[in-house]
Amino acid sequence: MTKIIDINPENPNGIERDMTAEEQAQHDIDVANVPTEKANITADKENTANLKASAKAKLIAGEALTEDEANTIVL
């Protein structure tokens, strides 16, 4: 089992203990989901960058922006 350190006001240095079965199961799920979450974050950043680039090009060309492109400029 994986160890976990519980820190609280009574034990500011923490107490090391084994994870419960439920904590271990959730930990395993979280670890398995990390690559997917990283890919989603990267895709979101790329999408935002593409929207900004598209909005800039349209502004320079005098074309109308989509709502998403306008939102990237306003935000």
The residue range of the domain holding 26 is 3-74
Domain count, the chain: 1
- pLDDT tens readout for residues 5-17: 999 999 999 999 9
CA distance 71 to 55: 10
Q: What's the whole-model pTM score?
A: 0.64
DSSP 16: E
- pLDDT tens readout for residues 16-64: 999 999 999 999 999 999 999 999 999 999 999 999 999 999 999 999 9
